[in-house]
Amino acid sequence: MDDLGFILLSYIATFGSTAVLAWRVLHRGRALGGQLPDDDKPWV
Partner 1 sequence: MRRTEIVSTNTGTTGTTFTRWFGLLAVVALALVAVFGLVLSPPDVVQGESVRILYLHVGTVWVAYLAFVVTAVSSAAYLWKRSSSLTWDRVAGASAEIGVLYMGVTLLTGALWGRLSWGTFWVWDARVTTTAFMFITYIGYLAVRGLGGSHRQRARRSAVVALLAVLEIPLVHFSVELWRSVHQDASVAGRTTDVTLDGLMLFTLLLSTVAFTLVYVWFVLHRQRVLAMEDALDDRGLDYALIERRREGAMR
DSSP 17: H
Write the binding mask 1 to 40 for partner 1: x where contact by CB under 8 A, - elsewhere.
-xxx-xx-xxx-xxx-xx--xx--xx-xxx-xxxxxxx-x
3-class SS letters over the chain: CHHHHHHHHHHHHHHHHHHHHHHHHHHHHHHHHCCCCHHHCCCC
Tell the smallest beta-carbon distance from residue 44 to partner 1 (Å): 4
Q: Using CB under 8 A as the criterion, which residues of the chain lie in contact with partner 1 when the complex forms? A: 2-4, 6-7, 9-11, 13-15, 17-18, 21-22, 25-26, 28-30, 32-38, 40-41, 43-44
